[in-house]
Chains A and B, each alone.
Chain A
Amino acid sequence: MSDETGPVAEPPVDGDDVVLRLVDVQAGYGKAALVLRGFSVEVRRGEIVCLVGPNGAGKSTVLKVASGLLAVRSGSVWLNGEDATGAKPQDLLRRGLSHVLQGHSVFREMTVEENVMLGGYTVADRTALLDRVEFVKGVFPVVAERWSTTAGLLSGGQQKQVEFARALMVRPDVVLLDEPSMGLDPKRTAGMFEQVARLREAGVAVLLVEQNARRALEMSDIGCVLDLGRVFVRGPAQELLADPQLSDLYLGGRPAAS
């Protein structure tokens, strides 16, 4: 499978705690122009990396490439030090990566139980699965309280927690979160960010895309500003927040035209 990946730019060093690394990725949809034009990012264990940038900059595309929903045209994807370029979502899931999609992606007409158990679809060990259920119920109380409810009947914030719980069933090393605050009111958004912080406490690395950029950077370790399919600037999240020019351009100094 690695034959089709082209030249390998930068094989990860052994013992390095980078969980997910994208190297010089080019990707796009169909015959349309490229969305990502040489994008690179790395996410370390227990670290939250936040991608910010204008609409259409390619933030969601980065996540789709990382989780195998979209194939790269060139460049490479590394997961836990192993080449994962061109791997399918099922394969990446087994290797420790899960992806929470933008918008609502619960299976609406299934119960919370069915949703969460499907999160463990690739886990064959029944005992491990049941242990994991107890774990996610502990992290997200709503999941335990509404276990037998049809997921589509829950509020937006509750559905998001079910999605988080579903993504955690595989014991991921890294979780990709696409606009988790979308459609939530400010109070629920604050609650959601708390949940993301809990993911970090659980030792999971997080790659986060947020349009609520300022709020997201406040809780992130690393910020990465994406524009025109490339990294425009990258650095510790607090430094990006302090930069007045960036603030004006990308962090909602002016209201974004979403």
Chain B
Amino acid sequence: MVSGALLFQSLILGLLLGGLYALLAAGLTLYFGIMRVVMLAHAAFILLSAYVAWWFSSTTGLDPMISLVATIPLFFGIGYVMHRFLLARLRPTTMTMMSVLLTFGIALVIEGLLGLAWTGTQRRIHLPYGTSSVEFLGAQIPVVQIVSFALAALSLASLYLIMKRTQFGRSLRATIQHGQAAQLVGIDTTKVAGMGFGLGLATAAVGGAALSLQATIYPSLHWHWIGPLMAIIVVGGLGSIPGAAIAALALGTIRVLLEIPMGSTWAQTVFYVALFLTLMLRPQGFFGGRLAQRF
């Protein structure tokens, strides 16, 4: 018999986890929207940022979030360069397939470098507030999860404002929606797409730091994340950031709720069940999804 309090606690934890997934998936769906790139290395970059946060925090004793001051601009730059010198050189007709191979390779390189720099030992950040929790209507909510969620919400809100309110955001959306027409109104689409990639990778920097607060990390961990994240963006409709956010919140919540009867291993299958159901019932995804239809 499941008590109401446990259910309520799981619901809150699920929403918090889903919010974090939403941020992690936003970058992934953005790359796909920009140029049909399947970015398998996204989770590896998230892990890289988590490692940097851990390393920064354990060597200086300062809060791991301060590492974002360096990783956000650094990741933006890496994203821009990666698009300009690697992805933009792929032939457009085979872009999607070849990007899988290319970014798979990049993921392996990052994993290897992480092992080289910090060995395969499991790492975890120790924070003064690491084990504390707050009580909310009878539910115990760990502080780290609240911090992660707040960071994710803040980043997604910034992403939304950048896309909707800035000239760069408008030119990026124009490039995504009709590349040639964007060129013809005078947008330098190659540069804008590169900056869009940088923006996606900057979300990985934030996501990694947020995850480092609550996860034990080791170099091959990113393979456990990329699957659920890919499933989320397909369910949400490839290329749709709001779709990814809604799918992430929903699936994250369901996953945590299923842990009560099924345990955490089986609960994880919810992502793949949702992926298969989506492909069977509505292959273009449940929200947005115009891009997938174009395939």
Which A residues lie at the B interface, using CB under 8 A? 67, 69, 89-90, 93-94, 98-99, 101, 105-110, 114, 117-119, 121-122, 166-167, 170
Contact = CB atoms under 8 A, between A and B. Distances in A.
Chain B CB within 10 A, most for which of A93, A118, A166, A167: A118
A64 B272 CA distance: 45
Given A107-B174, A110-B174, A114-B170, A121 B181 contact: no
B71 interface: no
B186 interface: yes
A122 B170 contact: no
B188 A107 contact: no
A118 B177 contact: no
Contacts of B173: 107, 109-110
10 contacts: A67-B184, A93-B185, A101-B184, A105-B180, A107-B182, A108-B178, A109-B177, A118-B174, A121-B185, A167-B184
5 closest A-B pairs (Cβ-Cβ)? Answer: A122-B186, A105-B181, A90-B186, A107-B177, A93-B186
A99 B186 CA distance: 11
Nearest to A176: B184
B98 interface: no
B184 A98 contact: yes
A94 B184 contact: no
B185 A118 contact: yes
Given A118-B170, A118-B171, A121-B171, A110 B177 contact: yes
B185 A119 contact: yes
Interface in B134-187: 170-171, 173-174, 177-178, 180-187
A10 B188 CA distance: 31
A118 B183 CA distance: 11
B178 A121 contact: no
Given A90-B183, A114-B170, A122-B185, 10 more contacts: A89-B186, A105-B180, A107-B174, A107-B177, A109-B173, A110-B174, A110-B177, A118-B170, A118-B182, A118-B185
A69 B174 contact: no
Given A118-B170, A118-B171, A108 B184 contact: no
B187 to A, nearest CB: 6
Nearest to A117: B170
Interface of B: 170-171, 173-174, 177-178, 180-188, 290
Contacts of A114: 170
A206 B231 CA distance: 49
Contacts of B177: 107-110
A159 to B, nearest CB: 11
Given A118-B170, A118-B171, A105 B186 contact: no
Contacts of B181: 101, 105-107
A114 B170 CA distance: 8
Chain B CB within 10 A, most for which of A108, A121, A167: A121
Nearest to B175: A107
Contact of A121 (B180, B186, B290): B186
A89 B174 contact: no
Contact of A90 (B170, B188, B290): B188
A99 B183 CA distance: 10
B170 A89 contact: no
A101 B27 CA distance: 30
Contacts of B174: 107, 110, 118
Contacts of B182: 107, 118
A89 B184 contact: yes
B186 A69 contact: no
A119 B185 CA distance: 5
A186 B185 CA distance: 29
A28 B184 CA distance: 19
Given A107-B177, A118-B171, A166 B183 contact: no
Contacts of A167: 184
Contacts of B170: 110, 114, 117-118
A174 B62 CA distance: 61
A94 B53 CA distance: 46
A180 B277 CA distance: 41
Contacts of A107: 173-174, 177-178, 181-182
Contacts of A67: 184
Nearest to B188: A90
A153 to B, nearest CB: 13
B183 A69 contact: yes
A235 B277 CA distance: 61
